[in-house]
Structure formats: C-alpha cells, structure tokens
Amino acid sequence: MVPVANTFTEPEPSALLLLLGQGQDAFSERGVDCPGDLPAPSDPDLVARAWAAKQALGERAFILGHHYQRDEVIQFADVTGDSFKLAQKAAASPNSEFIVFCGVHFMAESADILTADDQLVVLPDLAAGCSMADMAAADQVAAAWRSLEAAGVADVTIPVTYMNSTAAIKAFTGEHGGTICTSSNAKKSLDWAFSQGEKVLFLPDQHLGRNTAVLELGMSLDDCVVFDPHKPGGGLTAEQLQRARMILWRGHCSVHGRFTADSVDEIRAKVPNINVLVHPECQHEVVLKSDHVGSTEHIIQTLAAAESGSAWAIGTELNLVRRLASQHPDKQIMFLDKTICYCSTMNRIDLPHLVWALESLVEDRVINQITVDPDTAHWARVALDRMLALPGVGSRD
Ligand code: 13P
Ligand code: SF4
C-alpha cells in the first residue's frame, strides 16, 4: 500500500448547524427538544463508560450505526450500514431486547416496525430527525392524492416512498398499493411500480426519483413533473399530471442537495484525473457531471476496490468521507464541496447521548423509546415487505 499525501481538508462550517434541536414539534422529524440527565461532554471517562455499559448489557442491546454517524459513536456499533442494511439487520435481531439506533428518527421507526413487539427501539437523541422526511407531512400527502384523484390519475398511480420518510408516509404508501425504496434499490422498486401502474408518485426526494427515472429507467426529464405541496394542486394542471409518468415530490436532502455542478468543475480543474462519485440524493446536474453515482454502501465498496494512488472526490455526508479518507491512506480522497458540512441531525447523536442511553438501560430505564402505533405500523410494514420481497432485494447483506 503506497500512502499518498493527505489532501483531506475540512470544509467550512455551515449555518445549518445552528438551526436544529430548538423548539418543540411533535409531528416533525427535527426541532424536538431532548431533555435528559446527560453526562458532560468534557467527562474524560465517557469512552470507558460507554464500553462498560455496552459490556454490562451484552446481547440484551444491539447497537446499530449509520455510516453518517460520528467516529466517537460508530466505534460502539455492533453493525454499521446504510439505511437499508440497518433495517435488515434490525429485522434479523430476534435475540436483542433493545435496539439502540445511532441514526435518525425515521430509521428508528423502521426498526420498530420490523422488530418484534417485545423489542424496544431507542434513539439516543430525539432531536435526531431528518429534514427531508419533514418535507412530506401526512396531511400534505393526503391532499396531493386528492389532487391526483381530481385529475383522474390516482387509479393508475403507484406511490413509491424513499426509506427517508416518516412511518405515516410509509403507511400511506402501503395502503395505496405502493412500495418503499432505498438509494440502493430504487430502480428495482420503480420497475415493480411501473409493472403495477402507469405513473409513480415518488416521495419525498425529488432528486433520487429523477436520477433513477432518467439515468436508470431511460425516461426523459419531460416525463417528470414536480409536485409542490405548498401550492394548490401541487402547482400542476390536471393535464400536466395526466401527461407525466413520474410525479416527483418537492423534497430534498439538505446535505446532498447542496452539492453543485460548479463544485464538480472546480475539482476537475484542480485535480485532472479525479473520479467524482456522488450519492443519488444529489441534484441531477451534479450527477450528470459525475463519473459514478451510488448509495452509501456503493460508495464504500467502490473506494475499497479502487486502485492505490487513484484520486476521488466524494459527494456525500462528511463524517463518512472523513472516515473513508482515513481508512484508505493509499488513495487521495476529497470532499466534493468545501462549504458543505455534516448532516446536523445525524450529528445529534454524540457520545454523551449514547452513554446516557446505554447507562439508563443498564439501570432498567428505557429513555427515548421510538414506537409506531399499530395501525401505522401495519400499513408501513406492508409497504416495507413489498420492497423486501422484490427479487434480489431482500437477500443483500
Ligand atoms: P442511505 O443510507 O440509503 O445511503 O441514505 C443516505 C441518507 O441520507 C441517510 O440519511
Ligand atoms: Fe436526512 Fe439528508 Fe441527513 Fe440523511 S443526510 S438524515 S436524508 S438530512
């Protein structure tokens, strides 16, 4: 292995960090206060306390860590993965009393839906929501469906909902004959949906929907329309809805949506042989200018298989890119844009919150339990099971 000069530079901090965790909104994926008797972040024993609590819990607790989590947290994960792999791992953990989810709220909800009733799911910080999931509220989606009914297209439309959504939207999807997808199986879910109907209502990430439809299913941009939940009728005429094949919800990821086509041009000008690899939550113009596009797991596998000495600019969350840069010192791994920062809600889970959650469980106190009501869980599970039953999807490790 030939170490190359360390070219990784920290991007400038973003104002987004200041917005979250303030106020109360029980229906929101973010902005929820999470009061608790937290250990001080300066406590020098936090790492030792976390290991001790984890050891005391043994197999009673199964700790899942999404790849975008901080290093200080990910070291305690029994399994790491993207949202799909973690959902599968939670579903296959019948021996654990507690699932401690180091990720965001919608992932913990999916874990609750997929696990047995006597398994409890804990999210160490309730303020770890997701701004993308917040962009599709249940009443907005119900109103959108009424617009589709008024345009006479609801009967031929199949909802396909990204994993990054609330349980309520997943339940809507299950009840209306649709399926869930993740960034690693969006094409398969859409292929299935188009075998069931003529159109798809894709929620809530317009970019994943557009990128998959155009780049993997061979549709044109004209086949896609954007439904804006803040405008009457989505801002679309009945004729536009009737013509469209992909009805994309106007939602996006506040991290991936900020990469720009200019940042790809800039990095190519600076590093001539650079490979640009981005997540499909990035804007279509960014993906078009990139060399490769793929889910979080795909990015990890691509870099593991890349040639020693090769140069890569990565368009995904910063915790993961920093980790990949330190795991592959023989490759030149850079962050695609110098002004974009961490996912601030993923970063809510820090060592004090993890210690607090684990030590509470040791004392038989369950804090921050995530529960989905039975009716919502039933229909959300119908949609999740449709995804897991797709050929070649459920078997992925
Ligand atoms: P994946 O974990 O499916 O790659 O999704 C990325 C993401 O934004 C998770 O919040
Ligand atoms: Fe949500 Fe984007 Fe953060 Fe993932 S990275 S949790 S989609 S805001």
Omega before residue 204 within 30° of 0, cis: yes
Angle between the N-to-C axes of helices 167-175 and 138-150, in degrees from 0 to 180, rounded to the nearest 10: 30
Nearest residue (CA) to ligand 2, atom 3: 343
- Dist CA 387 CA 395 (whole Å): 11
Question: Closest ligand 1 atom to the C-alpha of 183?
Answer: 3
- Dist CA 205 CA 250 (whole Å): 7
What ligand has the least distance to the C-alpha of 66?
1
Write out the E strands in 103-245.
Answer: 120-122, 157-162, 179-181, 199-203, 224-227
Question: Is 211:128 a contact under the CB 8 Å cutoff?
Answer: no
Question: Is 337:263 a contact under the CB 8 Å cutoff?
Answer: yes
Nearest residue (CA) to ligand 2, atom 2: 253
Using CA atoms of 101, 104, 109, 112 in order, give the dihedral in degrees to the nearest 10. -10
> Does 368 sit in the ligand 2 pocket, CB within 6 Å?
no
Length of the chain: 397
What ligand has the least distance to the C-alpha of 258?
2
- Dist CA 228 CA 326 (whole Å): 41
Per-residue pLDDT in tens (0 to 9) along the chain, 397 residues: 444 545 565 555 443 333 333 444 445 555 466 667 889 888 899 999 999 999 999 999 999 999 999 999 999 999 999 988 898 899 888 789 999 999 999 999 999 999 999 999 999 999 999 999 999 999 999 999 999 999 999 999 999 999 999 999 999 999 999 999 999 899 999 999 999 999 999 999 999 999 999 999 999 999 999 999 999 999 999 999 999 999 999 999 999 999 999 999 999 999 989 999 999 999 999 999 999 999 999 999 999 999 999 999 999 999 999 999 999 999 999 999 988 778 999 999 999 999 999 999 999 999 999 999 999 999 999 999 999 899 877 644 3
* Ligand 2 probe mutation, 82, 123, 203, 343, most atoms within 8 A of CB: 343
pTM for the full predicted model: 0.90
| Sole residue written with tokens 């206060």 | 33
Distance 295 CA to ligand 1 centre (A): 7
Question: Is 343:18 a contact under the CB 8 Å cutoff?
Answer: no
φ/ψ (deg, to 5) at 90 = -60, -45
> Does 343 sit in the ligand 2 pocket, CB within 6 Å?
yes
Q: Quote the pLDDT of residue 396.
A: 42
Write out the E strands in 54-146.
Answer: 61-66, 79-81, 98-102, 120-122
| Sole residue written with tokens 């339990």 | 369
